[in-house]
A and B are shown apart, each in its own frame.
Chain A
Amino acid sequence: MNPSNYVILATILFSLGALGVLVRRNAIIVFMCIELMLNAANLAFVAFARMNGNLDGQVVAFFVMVVAAAEVVVGLAIIVTIFRTRRSASIDEPSLLKF
């Protein structure tokens, strides 16, 4: 099977993640959509590794996973902190930095 199918699937998943970031307003769901975009990029990297016949793509995907894990930890801590002060996880609420 042609591995470019995986790349096309990755673009679809990436766009769905971007759509979620655009339309959802719960901060945690927006965050999950960002994770979906990272996962789509990983799928593309794995498919590229297979196309080119070397493992570098898989190593890059591995690093993406590490960075994503670190990002999740810090991001969720920020969401919890915002929730504590504002009693809400909606991304429309924290507009304190606007003015």
Chain B
Amino acid sequence: MTPEGVLFWICAVLAVAGALGLIISRKAVHSALWMALTMINLAIMYVANSAPFLGMVQVVVYTGAVMMLFLFVLMVVGVDSSDSLIETIRGQRWTGIVLAIALVALLIAGISAALAVAPDAGLATANELDGGNVPGLARLIFTSYLVPFEVTSALLITAAIGAMVLAHRERWTARLSQRDLSRRRFRSAGHPGNRPNPGVYARHNAVDTPALLPDGTPTLASIPAPVQARGDIRPVDHADMTDIDQVAITSEERS
């Protein structure tokens, strides 16, 4: 087996495994990571097919930009939005698998005759013509493919504007000013000012340490609600309090 054959079989197995993982994993984030694996393996295969520029673009644009955009939107939409496994159409999964196998069989049967006699001209001469892969692509893009290339710019601008229009949200009410917020805070029956900070005594200043009121009782208003919900509230250690009193007394005696 040639070195390229070894590379092909490793990358092909990994790419198909990534595609299967994309379909099978229940969580969307796992799917995205499997997809990134497939794309990196495709990039390696592009380089092996003497397309180094496309390999780099694949890594930068697909694995770098597109997949990260997918992950970003997953974070917006909700990471734990996994699929329900209940089929809405009965037998959809098996029908889909059968159809996919049929599609592979159809495509390979359709092109196998042509593939059997396919030439392998290689890109060595085509790449040498302009002194490299990138200059060769550049000559083609800016000569014979100039019009499609210019149309592409219009497409990209349209896509950017479309995304802005779709993601834009109209504000129906005026933005609340600081004055409004302050007024609302004082109207509500709650606590108008700042709440006490957690840990207002000397031994600990972690967020789970309640602040002490002037009479020495802890106040729960100083603990953030999530910490309270977890039940992580450090009990007041009265030995610490006596220590603090001792320190205060000794420092008074010194002075």
Contact = CB atoms under 8 A, between A and B. Distances in A.
Interface string A72-95: 111011111101100011101000
**Interface residue SS majority, chain A:** helix
A1 B167 contact: no
Contact of A69 (B45, B66, B162, B166): B66
Determine which residue in A4, A29, A51, A92 has the highest number of CB atoms from chain B within 10 A of its CB, and name it.
Answer: A29
B190 to A, nearest CB: 29
**Interface residue SS majority, chain B:** helix
Contacts of A8: 108, 115
Contacts of A62: 53-54, 57, 137, 141
Interface in B34-50: 35, 38-39, 42, 45-46, 49-50
B107 A77 contact: no
Contacts of A28: 28, 32, 70, 73-74, 77
B249 interface: no
A22 B100 contact: yes
Interface residues of B, number: 86
Interface residues of A, number: 71
Interface in B105-134: 107-108, 111, 115-116, 118-123, 125-127, 133
B66 A72 contact: yes
A6 B58 CA distance: 17
A6 B57 contact: no
A52 B140 contact: no
A67 to B, nearest CB: 7
Contacts of A72: 66, 69-70
Contacts of A66: 152, 155-156
A36 B160 contact: no
A29 B38 CA distance: 14
Interface stretch (B13-21, B196-204, B223-231): B13-21
B148 interface: yes
Interface stretch (B91-99, B177-185, B207-215, B239-247): B91-99
Given A2-B120, A68-B62, 7 more contacts: A12-B16, A31-B70, A51-B121, A54-B126, A59-B140, A65-B58, A74-B162
Interface of A: 1-9, 11-20, 22-26, 28-29, 31-33, 35-36, 39, 42-43, 46-47, 49-56, 58-59, 61-63, 65-74, 76-81, 83-84, 88-90, 92
